[in-house]
Amino acid sequence: MLSTLHHPPRRLSRFFPANNKPRHFHTKPVLSSSQPVTDQSPSSTSPPESQILSIHHSLLSREVTATQLAETYLSRLKLAEPQLKSFIHVSNNVLKEAQSIDDKIKRNENVGPLAGVLVGVKDNICTVDMPSTAGSRVLENYRPPFDATAVKKVKEFDGIVVGKTNLDEFGMGSTTESSSFQVTANPWDISRVPGGSSGGSAAAVSARQCVVSLGSDTGGSVRQPASFCGVVGLKPTYGRVSRYGLIAYASSLDVIGCFGSSVADTGILLSAISGHDRLDATSSKQEVPDFTSQLISASLLESKPLKGLKVGVIRETLENRVDSGVKSTVLGAVSHLEELGCTLSEVSLPSFSLGLPAYYILASSESSSNLSRYDGVRYGNQAAAEDLNALYGDSRAKGFGSEVKMRILMGTYALSAGYYDAYYKRAQQVRTLIQKSFKTALDENDILISPAAPSAAYKIGEKKNDPLAMYSGDIMTVNVNLAGLPALVLPCGFVEGGPVGLPVGLQMIGAAFDEGKLLKVGHIFEQTLQGCRFVPPLIADGIPQ
Amino acid sequence: MPTRYYYYDYDYNNRTRNCSTTTTRSSLEPPDVPRLAQTARISLTPHEVEEFAPKIRQVIDWFGQLQDVDLDSVDPALRADSETGYLREDIPKTFKNRESMIAAVPSYDEPYIKVPKVLNKE
């Protein structure tokens, strides 16, 4: 990223205007030689650069056009798609939008910070010019009459939405196997899952089919696929990013999150989409700092750049239930943080293990309510029926997949009269305990760390018929959603498996609205990690760059 | 009548499941899948009822472990955030893309959204 600069760190403080309105921003081209974005020498193990900044620079210095960039990404996308199946829908307008950016540049007009950047959008986020299915037959061919606020902001900053990515239906799942349309493959080993529910968004960034992507995270659906696919995933604080246009799964838990191939890119995308929105009553009015202004070039870091940072390792996440390879990779990350000057200590989060059943009670209950709107009357697929109840019953029976049906039924049970106190209310009480234990731990530590998942990517089909086995994979991530805190996952190492090994992600959890600290720490960790390069074999070997 | 519940513990190193069973008092009826399906307005096939019932039961049993936790004097958390009091002005705005909303309606007979008759079962 800024490693291409050979002078003191340039602050990105005006990359995004302070009030987050779409004021176009013109950067001066940097005179040093930066690598064109299409050259990623496979033999180097240098840390990842910000592709967004690199693209911005290349466009403004006329080294490359947005159309050329779009063509490169599209051809890579199409080449990998038969194996990966990351996309449910690819936009027809990519080259047209790229051309209009090129025209603006030719006329010396200002272009936004995301100009020329191809963005994948998870298909449960509404886009007005493309179908938005939430991975479900009940919304097959549904065209929303509006863009989600997050999408609107991406477009305002001149980002190009390249397509809608695959997901587990309505966000319910951890593998994309519950998508009604297709199963996405992991670019590191196509016989394995990419994770879920934002598996398509993670795989697309990992395979460089797009530069960055949007996903959603209700119980880990951005962080776990980021770990499985070897990319950076960020779950913001609840309320940081507007949920307007995010097809609701569990309203008290859902957030829109970001994927990138570097911490910097993830932070730039977060900056673009954050902010209060009057259309989302749960959207926070907390000021949005410029998340990327703290990201300093690696060559300019002092020897212990994180000196004084207190990091708590969550004890419960490194106990028996974790794959030994994952454990040792995370312990390697702990050493790396110590070398950077952090003070590491072990923290215990009481009630940690209760978070998983509490989460599933809350999520199924809320989803049973949120999905009651899919009745075949005002939108979506409608079954032929002679009376109203049959219309509802048959439209929903035909439209929903098995996992969704089961969760609706479980939620209906938990919310039934007489059961509310036993399940939903108790789950909310457990939620209070978890919020309190995080607050205590974060009063004494700057960040907390854990693995992002108990294992690396497993084989497609392995967990399909065992719901509890699949749910247990979420143990590292759900508590963060219950507490509404932000978390960043970045690749920290590999375990055995697949052709060249499988990536493992480290999760960093911060205090509410403290995404800036997570990004700063993550960026330094990433830029100083030696000997690892997180580019999957699908890209490094077979596909022209 | 006491019901059993299982403590689910998936050991990734040995790929085994350690189940400990304990009994707990519960007066809750086990899930009646056909009745739940009717409440949720989803027409399940008999095959689906047969397939889902054991899985749903297994998960609900697993939910039951919360019964054993001492939660007296713990307030339920309604949401993740604690910000309150954000009200906006009560000014109606016309949604501009009405044609697109209407276009999404499966059975439309201007200006009505059509549905089949609601049968009264006497």
Q: What is the DSSP string of A5-18?
A: --SSPPP-TTTS-T
The confidence band for A299, taking pLDDT boundaries of 50, 70 and 90, is confident
Q: Is B33 on the interface with A (CB under 8 A)?
A: yes
CB nearest B58 (choices: A390, A393, A468): A468
- pLDDT of A34 above 70: no
Sequence-separated (6 or more) residues with CB below 8 Å from residue A454: A321, A322, A323, A326, A472, A473, A475, A476, B10, B12
Rg, chain B, Cα only: 24
Using CB atoms and an 8 Å cut-off, which of residues 60-89 of chain B contact chain A? Answer: 60, 62-63, 65-67, 69, 71, 74-81, 83, 86, 88
Across all residues in chain A, what is the average pLDDT? 90
A432 and B76 within 8 Å at the Cβ level: the answer is: yes
CA distance from start to end of chain B: 37
- DSSP string of chain B? -EEEEEE--EETTTTEE--EEEEEE--PPPP-HHHHHHHTT----HHHHHHHHHHHHHHHHHHGGGGGS--TT-PPP--S---------------S-HHHHHHT-SSEETTEEP--B-----
**Tens of pLDDT, residues A415-469:** 998 899 999 999 999 999 999 999 999 999 999 999 999 999 999 999 878 889 8
Lowest mean per-residue pLDDT among A64-78, A247-261, B3-17, B72-86: B3-17
Q: Is A520 a catalytic site residue?
A: no
A391 and B103 within 8 Å at the Cβ level: the answer is: no
The confidence band for B12, taking pLDDT boundaries of 50, 70 and 90, is low
Instruction: Find tokens 């776990």 and name the residue.
Output: A224
Q: Is A122 a catalytic site residue?
A: yes
A250 or A296: which carries more pLDDT confidence? A250
The confidence band for A47, taking pLDDT boundaries of 50, 70 and 90, is confident
B42 and A409 within 8 Å at the Cβ level: the answer is: yes
CA-CA distance, A275 to A163, in Å (whole number)?
A: 24
Sequence-separated (6 or more) residues with CB below 8 Å from residue A427: A357, A358, A359, A361, A362, A365, B66
User: Contact, B119 vs A387, CB < 8 A?
Assistant: yes
CA-CA distance, A527 to A56, in Å (whole number)?
A: 20
- pLDDT of B87 reads 76
Q: In chain B, what residues touch A454 (CB-CB under 8 Å)?
A: 10, 12
Chains A and B: how many Cβ contacts under 8 Å? Answer: 206
CA-CA distance, A456 to A453, in Å (whole number)?
A: 7
Strand partners, A494: A503
Torsion angle defined by CA atoms of residues A450, A455, A461 and A463, in that order, rounded to the nearest 10 degrees: -70
Of A457, A454, A438, A432, the C-alpha closest to A512 is A438
H or E stretch covering A430: helix A426-444
pTM (2 d.p.): 0.89
Q: In chain A, what residues touch B79 (CB-CB under 8 Å)?
A: 238, 252, 282, 484
- pLDDT of A372 reads 97
A396 and B43 within 8 Å at the Cβ level: the answer is: yes
- pLDDT of A208 reads 97
User: Contact, A200 vs A123, CB < 8 A?
Assistant: yes
Give residue A341's region: left, alpha or beta (phi > 0; psi -120 to 50): left
A 10 A CB-CB count for B78 gives: 11
CB nearest A410 (choices: B60, B98, B105): B60
The confidence band for B84, taking pLDDT boundaries of 50, 70 and 90, is low
Q: Please pick, among A85, A104, A122, A517, the residue that the annotation labels catalytic.
A: A122
